[in-house]
Amino acid sequence: MTAGLIVLLIVAGFVLLTLARTVRIIPQARAGVVERLGRYSRTLTPGLAIVVPFVDRIRDMIDLREQVVSFDPQPVITEDNLVVSIDTVIYFTVTDARAATYEIANYIQAIEQLTVTTLRNVIGGMALEMTLTSRDEINNQLRGVLDDATGKWGIRVNRVEIKAIDPPASIKDTMEKQMRADREKRAAILTAEGVKQSQILTAEGEKQSAILRAEGQRQAQILQSEGQAKAIGTVFEAIHQGDADPKLLAYQYLQMLPQIAQGESNKIWIIPSEFQQALGQLAQALPRGNAQPPPES
């Protein structure tokens, strides 16, 4: 009885083990490489899979998601013989589980070494200043070389990013001094340009103001001259229409004499001869009094 129970337990365990090795579940975004008697058989996709126990073996579970690998900073010599430290990040995806398993022993290490070699080739043809300002160009060249080389490994390089480019400490100090000098130079240029523009605008404003002031004075003189001309014309017309005689003119001149005498600098009066004649006529026109002539002696 005991021996039969033991045999039953052994058979049950063997059946369970066989079932466990026969039915396999492949997770999402994974691929299983199956070998049959040591040779590649097929690639399992996500879901439930049946394999032949003790004949088929799932060698590796390959992650099909996009992976990110950051490598340690690598010293690289530029074209002008300066050593810079470059830190890179690689984004890649396994597209063929079979090739990633059998074409390369360790694709992560292979990508790292290929990245270092490509960096040295690319940076070796650039000066330091161009290296610091050409990250996009370096990234594109790295991606192109890596994608071509890793294609046969069943890997697609999606993106290559340079995290940092660190020049030597002495070069950093020199660059900081140069940048500071450039900023001070640009600030001085901008200040001088601002002063220049301000002076130009001020001179332009003064010019426009002078032009407007002269134009106003000219218009005022024109209007004053026109007013005087109109006034003279009006007076002349009035005199002409009134047919003024010399006596009336002499009388008007007598009325204006006090205004002429108001000036302190008016020391000498010049009386026209016509006025003297008109004054004589005015005296004759005035009524004479009843005064008697003085008696003869």
Name the percent of the chain lying above pLDDT 70: 77
Query: What is the predicted pLDDT for the residue at 272?
Result: 57
What b/e string do you get for 61-70 counting C-beta neighbours within 10 Å, with b at 16 or more? ebebeebeee
Q: Would 126 be classed as within a structural domain? A: yes
Query: Tens of pLDDT along 240-297?
Result: 666 555 656 566 656 665 655 565 555 555 555 555 565 566 566 555 544 444 444 4
Q: Would 208 be classed as within a structural domain? A: no
Residues 58 and 90 in one domain: no
**Residue 108: is its pLDDT beyond 80?**
yes
Share the mean pLDDT of the chain: 79
Query: What is the predicted pLDDT for the residue at 266?
Result: 55
Distance CA 166, CA 115 (A): 17
Residues spanned by the domain of 55: 2-62
Query: Tens of pLDDT along 165-191?
Result: 888 777 777 767 777 788 888 888 888
The values of phi and psi at residue 90, to 5°, are -115, 135
Structure pTM? 0.54
Q: What sign does the dihedral 119-122-127-130 (CA atoms) show? A: negative
Residues 75 and 163 in one domain: yes
pLDDT average, residue stretch 60-84: 88
Q: Where among 167, 202, 224 does a domain terminate?
A: 167
Query: What is the predicted pLDDT for the residue at 267?
Result: 56
**Residue 93: is its pLDDT beyond 60?**
yes
Distance CA 229, CA 237 (A): 12
Residues 58 and 79 in one domain: no
Amino acid letter for position 198: S
Q: Would 157 be classed as within a structural domain? A: yes
Distance CA 164, CA 86 (A): 6
Query: Tens of pLDDT along 1-59?
Result: 577 777 777 877 877 777 777 888 889 999 999 999 889 999 999 988 888 888 888 88
Q: Is the CB of residue 58 less than 8 Å from the CB of residue 33?
A: yes
Q: Would 110 be classed as within a structural domain? A: yes
Q: Would 73 be classed as within a structural domain? A: yes
Q: Would 7 be classed as within a structural domain? A: yes
Q: Where among 118, 147, 167 does a domain terminate?
A: 167
Residues 93 and 159 in one domain: yes
Q: Tell me, what CATH number does 103's domain have?
A: 3.30.479.30
Q: What total number of domains does the chain contain?
A: 2
**Tokens matching residue 272:** 């026209």
Query: What is the predicted pLDDT for the residue at 90?
Result: 92
28: which DSSP letter? Answer: T
Band the pLDDT of 155: cuts 50, 70, 90. Answer: very high
Residues 35 and 79 in one domain: no
Residues 111 and 58 in one domain: no
Q: Where among 34, 62, 90 does a domain terminate?
A: 62
Q: Would 185 be classed as within a structural domain? A: no
